[in-house]
Amino acid sequence: MRERHHERFRSAWDRPSVRPLPEPEQCGHYSNDAGGPGLIQSARLRNPLTKILLGLLACLLAGGCLGVPPGISPVKNFQLDRYLGTWYEIARLDHPFERGLHNVTAEYSIHPDGGVRVVNRGYSVEDNAWQKAEGRAVFVREPDIGYLKVTFFWPFSASYVVFELDRQEYSYAFVTSSDRSYLWLLARTPSVDQAAIDRFLERTEELGFRTEDLIFVRHSTRAP
């Protein structure tokens, strides 16, 4: 099974860009206009909100987006200061809020109101435009446990669970949410070596994720 995944991974990276990317300043964005700590009260987005709203609706119908999947444990001795910065999305299980996006990155920094500022950005080939979403994350347990709650739209929140991490370099992270339909491989660079891919596939298969449905993200240019 892993050989098939590896072939998909290589082919995803070998494909050329469909068209030139516009400047990232064309992004739409969500903004925190008002409200209590950690709650995004309003949003302004030049691109349609359909994908985001579908994802939130699906989450609510499934019983909420908080909690940790059974059998999965957030990492301990988590060091937020080392985790901050830009991460590239290498692979994911697809959902409406990310469907069709390439060059996906996540940037984490200290939020002025406390917690973690989250900025997700991706390029939509269909819309020929960058899309950007901003939210805030807070720790659910102790700050050395890799389990946070992320809010993009009040009152919708979702779990952010880091369940494996490169302890030495913080060069890659395996992330899930409230159930096994959510899975991401994040890295500090737009590409990773085969050993990291092998480890990701082996570990997530062991934990019951549907690795056959993984999408490997194309990074045709460095996202800002």
Q: Looking at residue 3, what is its pLDDT?
A: 52
CB contact set of 192 (below 8 Å; sequence gap of 6+):
90, 171, 172, 185
Q: Return the structure tokens found at 87.
A: 């991460």
Domains of the chain and any CATH numbers: 2-16+30-216 (2.40.128.20)
Q: Is the peptide bond prior to 22 cis by the omega test (within 30 degrees of 0)?
A: no
pLDDT tens per residue, range 113-151: 889 999 999 999 888 999 999 999 999 999 999 999 999
CB contact set of 17 (below 8 Å; sequence gap of 6+):
218, 220, 221
- Phi, psi (rounded to 5 degrees) for 205: -65, -45
pLDDT tens per residue, range 14-73: 433 333 333 333 333 333 322 222 222 223 333 434 444 445 444 544 445 789 999 999
More confident residue, 49 or 84: 84
**Nearest in space to 11 (alpha carbons), one of 188, 217, 174, 223:** 217
